[in-house]
Amino acid sequence: MRSDRAHHVGALWGELLTERNWPFEAKASRDAFLKARSGVRTALRQMVPDPDAVAAVYMNGAPIVLALCGNALYEVRGQVDKNLVGGAEVRRTPIVPDRCRVSAVSEYREVDGFAQRMTIWTFDVSGMKVKFATEAYEDEEQAQLPERLALKLAIAIGWEPPFDEVLAERIAA
């Protein structure tokens, strides 16, 4: 992945991490956070091809990065051991459409006068279980990264939902 994109996605991963409880002592916490974020950025740069879509999402109690690269889904998890050594685990799963499933459950509500759609996406990508939430507002010109990833992944595994022109433009960007 290009360095600038890895840096940006690593920062988004870090934001998700700091929104949740961080399991280290306060003094060690900042150091551990920086090492884990650095591990994610390095893994993205060195081990993940430039993706068609990428997002940092919160899944199964931890922030992860998911990257759709052609016919494969990459999962990157930041790690810090008890000695505060940072790193990342990278997993590549090939997308075999006959072995994949997707489910999307959406709810709609009005927030500050705009329609909002919250969707819970559940994927089974050739045995890899992926579940995360996305938000979309009617006034957005471009889909947020998690929604764009979810829609492109659904398309990659063979789902052809009846997108309207507005949604098609939002995910194409």
Residue 21 has pLDDT above 70, yes or no: no
Domain locations in the chain?
3-94, 98-172
What is the separation of C-alpha 150 from the centre of its chain, rounded to a whole number of angstroms?
A: 8
Instruction: Compute the distance between CA of residue 17 and CA of residue 12 in angstroms, rounded to an integer.
Output: 9
Q: What is the mean pLDDT of the chain?
A: 84
Q: Is the pLDDT of residue 55 over 90?
A: yes
Distance of CA 120 to the CA centre of its chain: 13
pLDDT single digits (tens) 78-121: 877 666 667 889 999 999 999 999 999 989 888 888 888 889 99
Structure confidence at residue 136 (pLDDT): 82
Is residue 147 scored above 80 in pLDDT?
yes
Q: Choose among 36, 38, 55: nearest CA to 3.
A: 38
Residue 161 has pLDDT above 60, yes or no: yes
Place of tokens 């430039």: 50
Highest mean pLDDT among 26-30, 140-144, 163-167: 140-144
φ and ψ at 67, to 5 degrees? Answer: -130, 125
* Nearest Cα to Cα of residue 126 among 145, 144, 100: 100
Structure tokens at 153: 């992944």
pLDDT of res. 142: 67
> Within 10 A of 152 (CB to CB), how many other CB atoms are there?
18
Q: Which amino acid is at 75?
A: E
Instruction: Enumerate helices (H) and strands (E) in the chain, giving the number of each.
Output: 4, 7
If you count them, how many residues does the chain have?
173
pTM: 0.84
Poorest-confidence range of 17-21, 35-39, 78-82, 157-161? 17-21
d(CA 100, CA 54): 19
**Whether pLDDT at 26 is above 60:** no
% residues pLDDT > 70 (the chain): 82
Query: How much is the pLDDT for 84?
Result: 61
